[in-house]
Amino acid sequence: CINANAKYCGECIQAGAKCGWCEQEDFLKQGESVSTRCDELQSLLERGCNLTKIQNPVGKQKIIMNKPVTNRKKVTGDETNKPKPEEITQIQPQKLSLRLRSGEPQSFDLKFKRAEDYPIDLYYLMDLSYSMKDDLENVKNLGTSLMLEMKKITSDFRIGFGSFVEKTVMPYISTTPSKLLNPCTGDQNCTSPFSYKNVLSLTSDGNMFNSLVGKQHISGNLDSPEGGFDAIMQVAVCGEQIGWRNVTRLLVFSTDAGFHFAGDGKLGGIVLPNDGKCHLENNIYTMSHYYDYPSIAHLVQKLSDNNIQTIFAVTEEFQPVYQELKNLIPKSAVGTLSANSSNVINLIIDAYNSLSSEVILENSKLPEGVTIAYTSQCKNGVVSEGENGRKCSNISIGDEVKFSISVTSKGCPNQGKPETIKIKPLGFTEEVEITLNFICECECQKKGIKNSPDCHSNGTFECGACKCYEGRVGRQCECSSNDVATEDMDRTCRKDNGTDICSNNGDCVCGTCECKKRPNPEERYSGQFCECDNFNCDRSGNKLCGGHGRCECRVCICEPTWTGTACDCSMDNSTCLATNKQLCNGRGICECGICKCTDPKFQGPTCETCPTCPGVCAEHKLCVQCRAFGTGEKMKTCKEECSYFNLIKVKDRDKLPQPNDYPYPVMHCKERDANDCWFYYTYAVNNTEKEVHVVDKLDCPSGPDIIPIVAGVVAGIVLIGLALLLIWKLLMIIHDRREFAKFEKEKMNAKWDTGENPIYKSAVTTVVNPKYEGKC
């Protein structure tokens, strides 16, 4: 707000929604410029401005017309009870007024509900070039058939018919007299070429449609693209001739060819751009030879302005072309037309259902500096923002959707004059009218005193300050802008007749210093010569005035309970009270809320800690054990109970702090755990922090050497086994020798009988050959 450099209240409130203007006359300090009256509200209050003297206007909204959406059911039977189209409401509210302040958005909710049995006007625009000959035969009975189908959707349906061919100049058609009468070849009987003809205005008589369309004849042209854009433009802008009502308007565009667009008319010597106006005489477009084809953007504008939804019924060959065209024209659809248009009714029904199931909001042109944002709340809780926030899809008849719309202005658009914008769903005639009123001035400006004596009659005194006339400067408009930079005036801006004007922190305006602004709006120069500031005071803890005071003219003004040059000395002794309710435990003095212990044995914030007193080691044993080694009785509650000291691990006992290493006492401890392992640590208090150095390895008693014992046992078992085996072997040898000796002895003493054995038989048998005579 300060950087806006606002010279009066109106400029200030336009700088941002959080900016306020202090109109209190004695608000400014010496050296502060008028623009410092503009600041954020909290800052103004802190600087001493009375809340009732702060100008901070806020925007508001007022709903002027708010008819509820219509809950209408389809009417059958008595047609006289049908409501008129203008009596049906699908959008709410209908009219409201917004009072906008710069940077402050005003939001409102818009409801949309598709009414059942909503009237429909459908205009069938058909290409009657020769290639559509067979299609025309099927369209001749379209009226009554389409009426029957559309009656299922709405009880109030009207249908119209128009046709087009091409511009009636070369090279689009042949201009020879015979071809102008009958452009077709051979014995084909064709009607004269034309650009666009309104055959039947919108009517509820389907038989009349069939009758008039049945009298139509095919025509012809030379080139392949047709002049359909001329026809669409005339259908859109000739509302009276076509008979459009303020209901759902459908335009069915049926063709089997491409289209000419803006610029193509030059081929026929037509250079004037299409004027977007109606030129129907006797229901025939008469200016096709004079105006070029309309551009796509021009068509989009006119179709949107007249709330017409377009259905392109084209053959499969030209589907890609018209799909691209559909992407450029909001609320349009493309259907594939069969070769002879036999499926046109189903095509129209499907396209209508597709178009009507989606609502897209659009707004009129916004004034410069005004922005609008949409948030949609569609079916099934789907919420979208940005461009998608403008639309909801898959809406059925009777469904209600809501849009949150936020309008924001910047500055003072259109010099504060009221503006009107409109928001409407594409393809629908209903709209929301919004009147925008801009807050460009403060209420106090209306009470301004012109030629005020307080401004030396050279300005208007308003909102606590002078608003000088052109050519006048100074806080009280006391000087002419031509006389500002004079030596006499500069002299009064030098402190102690020095050389620096306004201490190099400001400008000399009309003999008075106006201090410069800092990039940080919280930092300010002040004083008669801008010699003071609120940011160059002593700091403590990297905070200005220790965060316990304010800086005035480079001196800290401390809060009641703080003192010192940087407000870093607390006068509150409660922080020095020990648990025994004595100041510093009776062993020190309290200075600036911090104990300074007089007994060297005691330390800590209240002089209650004695690191070298007996029992310290046992007191901290369990916590050191659980934090250093993860063991002990406090292992599960270690984080909660043992986080009161800083733990530092060392490799061995030689690395532990020694008594003479530090200016504060260090207690050496040796404790044993449940496994008879010793651990060593030191405990000390450094200012308010407790430090524990611990050897990271336990000193456990060495156990028996298992490997030699096992080896000895195994070796002993083996040796004993070998000894037993040898003894057994020796005993067996002795036993065998004794037995052998005994045998020998018995053998020597034995007396054997020499007689023959009676049962003995000789093993030799002698056989004599009887034939042997003993001769050789």
Domain range list for the chain = 60-72+85-116+361-439, 120-356, 539-570, 572-612, 616-695
Joined together, the tokens standing for residue 709 give 């014992």
Interval 364-405: pLDDT, tens: 889 888 999 999 998 888 888 988 898 888 888 888 889 999
**pLDDT above 90 (res 30):** no
CA 743 to chain CA mean position, Å:
118
Residue labelled with tokens 């058609």? 173
C-alpha distances in Å from residue 450, one per residue of 25, 176, 362, 459, 757: 17, 81, 46, 6, 181
Q: Confirm if 439 and 101 have CB atoms less than 8 A apart.
A: yes
Q: What DSSP letter does each residue of 426-440 carry, written as one string?
A: TT-S--EEEEEEEE-
Long-range contacts of 551-559 (CB under 8 A, 24+ apart): 553/526, 553/527
Three-state SS sequence of 262-302: CCHHHHHCCCECCCCCCCEECCEECCCCCECCCCHHHHHHH
Whether 769 shows a pLDDT value over 80: the answer reads no
Average pLDDT over residues 600-625: 79
* Mean pLDDT across the chain: 84
CA distance 175 to 182: 11
Taking only the tens place, the pLDDT of each residue in 531-589 is 888 888 988 888 889 888 888 888 998 988 888 888 888 888 888 888 777 788 778 88
**599 vs 601: CA distance, rounded Å:** 5
- Residue pLDDT, tens place only, 176-190: 787 777 777 767 778
CATH architecture for the domain at 120-356? 3-Layer(aba) Sandwich (3.40)
What is the longest distance spanned by two Cα atoms in the chain? Answer: 198
Amino acid 586: pLDDT: 76
Which CATH number applies to 616-695: 2.60.120.200, 3.10.129.10, 4.10.1240.30, 2.40.170.20? 4.10.1240.30
**Lowest-confidence segment of 87-101, 124-138, 474-488, 512-526 by average pLDDT:** 474-488
H runs (alpha helix) in 477-575: 487-491
Whether 60-72+85-116+361-439 and 616-695 share one fold: the answer is no
Q: Which fold, 539-570? A: Laminin (2.10.25)
- 105-161: per-residue pLDDT in tens? 999 999 998 888 888 899 999 888 887 777 777 777 777 788 888 888 888 889 999
Q: What percent of the chain has pLDDT above 90? A: 19
**Is the pTM for the entire model greater than 0.85?**
no
pLDDT at 405: 93
Q: How far apart are CA 514 and CA 505, in angstroms?
A: 9
Q: What is the pLDDT of residues 255-312, one digit of tens each?
A: 888 899 998 888 888 889 999 999 999 999 999 889 999 999 999 999 988 989 999 9
Q: Which fold has domain 572-612?
A: Laminin (2.10.25)
pLDDT digits (tens, 9 = 90+) for 186-239: 677 788 888 999 999 999 888 888 888 888 888 877 777 888 999 999 999 999
Classify domain 60-72+85-116+361-439 at the CATH topology level: Immunoglobulin-like (2.60.40)
